[in-house]
Structure 1
Amino acid sequence: MKRIEFGFAPQGKRRVAMLCVLVALFSFMALPGNSQNIKKKAKNAPVFSNSVYEGNDKVYSDNPLKPGEFYNPILQGAYPDPAITRKGNDYYLVASTFAIFPGVPVFHSKDLVNWTQIGHALDRVSQLDVHDTGISAGVYAPDIEYNPNNDTFYMIVTAFAGGAGNIVVKSKDPAKGWSEPFKLNFQGIDPSLFFDDNGKAYVVHNDAPDKGTELYEGHRVIKVWDYDLEKDQVIAGTDKIIVNGGVDLSKKPIWIEAPHIYKRNGKYYLMCAEGGTGGNHSEVVFISDSPKGPFTPAPNNPILSQRHLSQNRPNKVDWAGHADLVEGPDGKHYGVFLGIRPNEKNRVNIGRETFILPVDWSGQFPVFVNGLVPMEPKLKTPAGVENKTGKEGFFPNGNFTFTDNLTYKNLDYRWVGLRGPREAFISQTKKGLQINPFPVNIKEVKPTSTLFLRQQHNSFTYTTTLDYKPASEKDLAGITLLQSEAFNYVFGLTRKGKDAYLVLERTEKGASKVIASQKVDIQKPIQLRVKAEGDAYQFSYSTDGKSFMDLGSPVSGDILSTNVAGGFTGTLIGLYATSANDVQPQ
């Protein structure tokens, strides 16, 4: 996964540019020592309360659900690179998080329709060190597998942070936490595990071709290793290339990756993504008599893609691929995969989301049902399954409202930090959630004192109440819309002389510009709001709790799209506080 092609530059230059960006991000220094774990309360720390996120996408109002239907994607917002496994009647799903902390959310379902988040696989700094990591580095392409031979769950992932490389963690119960990581002795990315019914185990992953054999830019291979379950390590010398380049090497396929092995009717199936994570993304499948190959591609590849369809189709879903298969509660197969829902200007502000489709495996090879035609926003539930999304604690989808007064002791799992634990800067109070500001600006590659939610709709409204009296021009608290450290908006309360000001700043390619500012009365808490209608974002505020006034005109969401900003994440909506503010009122 993990490399998106943007614009019209040659693919080689795009790849080199992205790698250079990642290398540059790794070079930034973190806060001194373990300061991300030290919480020294500021006297004037801001308190946030009454958080309300409300989605309002037209696709959902135009397509109301009928009994026996559910919406696709099943996980809206930046939950890319899904992987899924099953133990009995329980399903577990994971997704990429990059530099978000905690990392790798774990979801549970009984029916593939109704999901709850039960935690994160990497929720400790000892497991995940991303303190000096650019937002699109960190951990990505996780795989989760259940091994019935030893009744153990495994989560394996690539970590571009802390010198970790490829790691695996284990659990007897994903709801009760995961082990410390085992560092694996191989290069490459996108690893997954396969447990054969004879007790043997294997790791399969993307890698570079053998030295001197690379034929073109984007030429990659799939390797397999024997895996020692006692030592939790690949067995040296057992590695073997099982796919070279992709389905047809003569056509110079790029970025064969995200491999998974399955066994059915005595045959071994290898399913991979091909074509890169952007507009040429697809899913392909191979067959063999052995997990070590040789693997032969299916004659009907790709088995999932949206790349050949009209760019003007309504309710467009694109970039489909990076999939994983599981048998459903009805005995049929299903596949989870990533896709995007661009806005009216074809910008990808939400990020890559988790979709699902039924899979027809009545023939020799699996095929995603309707995976090669324009995807619909609704699907039929598996037989006997009732759609309870958004109710009884199940994760919502469609148009929904998420209200949180931020006074609960345990935060909802949807609230996340960036590059470090939330607990390093948050405190619960009777009035709401207090954020102790770090001397770190949102534009720095360091742990930030910011609590984030994912943007989950192209059109949404987010409102929060802020109780705050900044002491100096270095103090700021408010809302940030963050695509990355170099591309973001800051809408916050600061000080100029004796007066309090609201400011709106746009940062593009690391260069910041104040768009608007306004002196305000902060004798009482102030409400802050951002309303997106597709690509237009309007920031507003209220000092009386009733009427809202706009701060400036609507601004473009261009810098919040991966088309402009690059990278692999979606927009994050943050409750932000800093004592290193550089946004000055006009």
Structure 2
Amino acid sequence: MKKITMNSNLLKNKTSIFAAAALLSLTSISAQTFTDFQYKGNDKIYNDNPLKPDEFYSPILQGCYPDPSITKKGEDYYLVNSSFSMFPGVPIFTSKDLVNWKQVGHVLDRPSQLKVEKAGVSAGIYAPDIKYNKYNDTFYMITTQIASGIGNMVVKTKDPAKGWSEVQKLNFDGIDPSIFFDDDGKAYIVHNDAPPKGTEQYQGHRVIKMWDYDLEKDQVVAGSDKIIVNGGVDLSQKPIWIEGPHLYKYKGKYYLMCAEGGTGGNHSEVIFMSDSPKGPFVPAKNNPILTQRYFPRDRKEKVDWAGHADLVEGPNGQWYGVFLAIRPNVNNRVNHGRETFILPVDWSGTYPVFQNGLVPMKPKLKMPEGVQNQTGQNGFFPNGNFTYNDKLTDKNLDFRWIAMRGPRENFITTTKNGVKVNPMETNIKALAPVSSLFHRLQHEDFETSVTLDYKPKSEKELAGITLYQSETFNYVFGITKKDKDFYIVLERTEKGTSKLIASEKISLSKTIKFQVNGEKDEISFNYSLDSKNFKNLGGSVSGDILSTDVAGGFTGSLIGLYSTSSNDIVPN
């Protein structure tokens, strides 16, 4: 592998030059400027469970932040998540106490690292694993890129906040790889794979495979692969989707932790132990060590689908596990996706066990000793019911603003008046980069608004807000033109089929303010021409198409500041 590129200013400058050239060609298209974005959460669970001074909320990352992996260097913790076809990819957070988290950027922030231009929203980056190797003072992020023929890959850096290397493709199949550095300096990779050809016993039968890893060549050692788990804890029970493996060493023993049961209602976390990194691995008798699958479907303040975990030693020697889970809404829908939760882990016995990981989960946890809750303050990521305000005037937009399938710099221009979203010749239904700046939906009950300065010149132009679950499931709420008149329109797309819900001719003199309110799986789209008095368009509509159980895939919903020069919504 080539030397690590710690800073990619040259590449970024070239990208900016090309983006600027592209923007100059758009002078014939109407300018649109978004400003004064506000997002506010008002979930009942937080109103009913206010924090005491010694408590914090789990999930620690609300919204679509699934498949967490965590590592530690000195007093600093780093956490990454799956990002699928979002661009940039693999958000990375840091903390000193596991409670207060700051986003320091993204691991895959260049087109040379992330090739998802034609990928569906749930393709792209799956299950990243981040680990620090103390023997060469280097961080590794290993993942599967389901796009452009890349497959399993690794990047590395000396400083997670200052850029990562180019991609090194890894020579093995399967998904969910993770890397382990042993006390003797040797390295290994474990991952999910199909069973050997002709030995598959049932649908969902998978294996965990291990390879030796050559740290000089950054490649697995050919012929070193070995199956260390076949099927799961008990093959006779036909367990499905053993995946997301992580290897640890604790008190001289090797522990292999995996997800089992699929990433839905049967999801769980299981643990195995061995005297050697290559096995044989013996499952704990009390598996699973984490799940929410045994409890009544209609339980209060429900958390579900818990699994896909990673362990780390926390402050004061207390172990913790981060994992994904969901919090379905009143209609049991999963609109804000799989989120990052945390629980303390008891490792006083032979095997680790998640504390209260086998009872219905609570929204609050006890603070680690000596930690003060600063979430939402001093640059720390917020949780609970919070308000996020952004005038969208900063030259470097907040890391939480992302694009889909390509760099946001290709279509945005930041100004003192807000951010211009310069329209691409693709619309929101395209399997291609789209000109939309996205923010994750993070609550069941929410209110979001933005002010738009825009006058479309033709029926092919539209700008406004999109609620986006995928290219085939979304809402678009925006302004377009028909003949000489301006119209505000609301369209619903389900399974790729679009339907106009409502349209209304408006007199557009200055800016327009869009407002979207979500409450108990119902959504209302409102607008104001004077920034004070709001008018509803289309009544109350269902949030069903924003849910994973309806739309499929692995992502949560996004709120997009959207513009296109390929509008196909025709007002009535």
TM bucket by the smaller chain? over 0.9
In the aligned structure 2, how far is the partner of 1:159 from the partner of 1:367?
31
Matches within 5 A, 1:501-520: 501-520=487-506
The match for 1:466 is: 452
The structure 2 residue matched to 1:443, chosen from 413, 425, 429, is 429
The match for 2:26 is: 41
Q: Secondary structure, in 3 states, of the residue corresponding to 1:175?
A: coil
In the aligned structure 1, how far is the partner of 2:494 from the partner of 2:242?
32
In the aligned structure 2, how far is the partner of 1:304 from the partner of 1:274?
10
**Equivalent residues of 1:36, 1:447 under 8 A apart:** no
Query: How far 1:140 sits from its partner (Å)?
Result: 1.1
| Letter aligned with residue 280 of structure 1 | N
The match for 2:367 is: 381
The structure 2 residue matched to 1:159, chosen from 145, 150, 154, is 145
The structure 2 residue matched to 1:529, chosen from 515, 519, 522, is 515
Answering whether residue 315 of structure 2 is matched by residue 333 of structure 1, we say no
Deviations 1:376-416 (A, max 9, x none): 00001111111100001100000000000001101000000
The match for 1:62 is: 48
Query: What RMSD, in angstroms, separates the aligned Cα atoms of the two structures?
Result: 1.0
Deviations 1:184-224 (A, max 9, x none): 00000000000001000000000000011000000000000
The structure 2 residue matched to 1:557, chosen from 522, 526, 543, is 543
**Equivalent residues of 1:128, 1:162 under 8 A apart:** no
Q: Secondary structure, in 3 states, of the residue corresponding to 2:177?
A: strand
**Equivalent residues of 1:282, 1:319 under 8 A apart:** yes
The structure 2 residue matched to 1:262, chosen from 241, 248, 251, is 248
Deviations 1:462-486 (A, max 9, x none): 0000100000000000000000000
Q: Secondary structure, in 3 states, of the residue corresponding to 1:66?
A: coil
| Letter aligned with residue 423 of structure 2 | P
Q: Secondary structure, in 3 states, of the residue corresponding to 1:552?
A: strand
In the aligned structure 1, how far is the partner of 2:346 from the partner of 2:425?
54
| Letter aligned with residue 323 of structure 1 | A
The structure 2 residue matched to 1:294, chosen from 280, 294, 297, is 280
The structure 1 residue matched to 2:526, chosen from 519, 524, 540, is 540
Answering whether residue 404 of structure 2 is matched by residue 412 of structure 1, we say no
Query: How far 1:520 sits from its partner (Å)?
Result: 1.2
In the aligned structure 1, how far is the partner of 2:26 from the partner of 2:312?
48
Deviations 1:302-330 (A, max 9, x none): 00000011111111000000000000012
The structure 2 residue matched to 1:145, chosen from 120, 124, 131, is 131
The structure 1 residue matched to 2:377, chosen from 374, 379, 391, is 391
**Equivalent residues of 2:486, 2:505 under 8 A apart:** yes
In the aligned structure 1, how far is the partner of 2:103 from the partner of 2:416?
26
In the aligned structure 2, how far is the partner of 1:264 from the partner of 1:38?
54
Matches within 5 A, 1:89-108: 89-108=75-94
In the aligned structure 2, how far is the partner of 1:344 from the partner of 1:330?
39
**Equivalent residues of 1:55, 1:460 under 8 A apart:** yes
The match for 1:576 is: 562
In the aligned structure 1, how far is the partner of 2:179 from the partner of 2:417?
47
Q: Secondary structure, in 3 states, of the residue corresponding to 2:161?
A: helix
The number of residue pairs the alignment matches comes to: 553
**Equivalent residues of 2:43, 2:446 under 8 A apart:** yes
Q: Secondary structure, in 3 states, of the residue corresponding to 1:465?
A: strand
Answering whether residue 346 of structure 2 is matched by residue 367 of structure 1, we say no
| Letter aligned with residue 77 of structure 2 | Y
Q: Secondary structure, in 3 states, of the residue corresponding to 2:538?
A: coil
| Letter aligned with residue 209 of structure 2 | K
Deviations 1:231-290 (A, max 9, x none): 000000000000000000000000000000000111000000000000000000000011
| Letter aligned with residue 367 of structure 1 | V
Deviations 1:89-123 (A, max 9, x none): 00000000000000000100000000000010000
In the aligned structure 1, how far is the partner of 2:507 from the partner of 2:101?
43
The structure 1 residue matched to 2:181, chosen from 188, 191, 195, is 195
The match for 1:27 is: none
Matches within 5 A, 1:299-338: 299-338=285-324
Answering whether residue 388 of structure 2 is matched by residue 402 of structure 1, we say yes
The match for 1:15 is: none
The structure 1 residue matched to 2:221, chosen from 232, 235, 258, is 235
Answering whether residue 444 of structure 2 is matched by residue 452 of structure 1, we say no
The structure 2 residue matched to 1:80, chosen from 48, 51, 66, is 66
The match for 1:488 is: 474
In the aligned structure 2, how far is the partner of 1:454 from the partner of 1:107?
16
In the aligned structure 1, how far is the partner of 2:317 from the partner of 2:133?
20
In the aligned structure 2, how far is the partner of 1:181 from the partner of 1:53?
35
Q: Secondary structure, in 3 states, of the residue corresponding to 1:174?
A: coil
Deviations 1:149-192 (A, max 9, x none): 11100000000012111000001010111000110000000000
The match for 1:3 is: none
**Equivalent residues of 1:37, 1:421 under 8 A apart:** no
**Equivalent residues of 1:505, 1:516 under 8 A apart:** yes
In the aligned structure 1, how far is the partner of 2:180 from the partner of 2:555?
28
Q: TM-score, normalised by structure 2?
A: 0.96
In the aligned structure 2, how far is the partner of 1:227 from the partner of 1:573?
41
**Equivalent residues of 1:156, 1:169 under 8 A apart:** yes
Q: Secondary structure, in 3 states, of the residue corresponding to 2:356?
A: coil
Answering whether residue 171 of structure 2 is matched by residue 185 of structure 1, we say yes
Q: TM-score, normalised by structure 1?
A: 0.94
Q: Secondary structure, in 3 states, of the residue corresponding to 1:113?
A: coil
Answering whether residue 344 of structure 2 is matched by residue 358 of structure 1, we say yes
Query: How far 1:35 sits from its partner (Å)?
Result: 8.9
**Equivalent residues of 2:19, 2:411 under 8 A apart:** no
**Equivalent residues of 2:395, 2:415 under 8 A apart:** no
In the aligned structure 2, how far is the partner of 1:109 from the partner of 1:180?
25
Distance 1:35 1:210, change over 3 A: farther
Unaligned runs of 5+ in 1: 1-33
In the aligned structure 2, how far is the partner of 1:196 from the partner of 1:442?
47
**Equivalent residues of 1:37, 1:424 under 8 A apart:** no
In the aligned structure 1, how far is the partner of 2:531 from the partner of 2:252?
66
In the aligned structure 2, how far is the partner of 1:392 from the partner of 1:223?
43
Deviations 1:427-474 (A, max 9, x none): 012211001100101001000000000000000000000100000000
Query: How far 1:38 sits from its partner (Å)?
Result: 3.6
Q: Secondary structure, in 3 states, of the residue corresponding to 1:127?
A: coil
Q: Secondary structure, in 3 states, of the residue corresponding to 2:539?
A: coil
In the aligned structure 1, how far is the partner of 2:244 from the partner of 2:160?
22
Structure 1 residue ranges, 4+ long, deviating more than 2 angstroms after superposition: 34-43
The match for 1:17 is: none
The structure 1 residue matched to 2:407, chosen from 402, 421, 444, is 421
Q: Secondary structure, in 3 states, of the residue corresponding to 1:375?
A: coil
| Letter aligned with residue 368 of structure 2 | P
Unaligned runs of 5+ in 2: 1-17
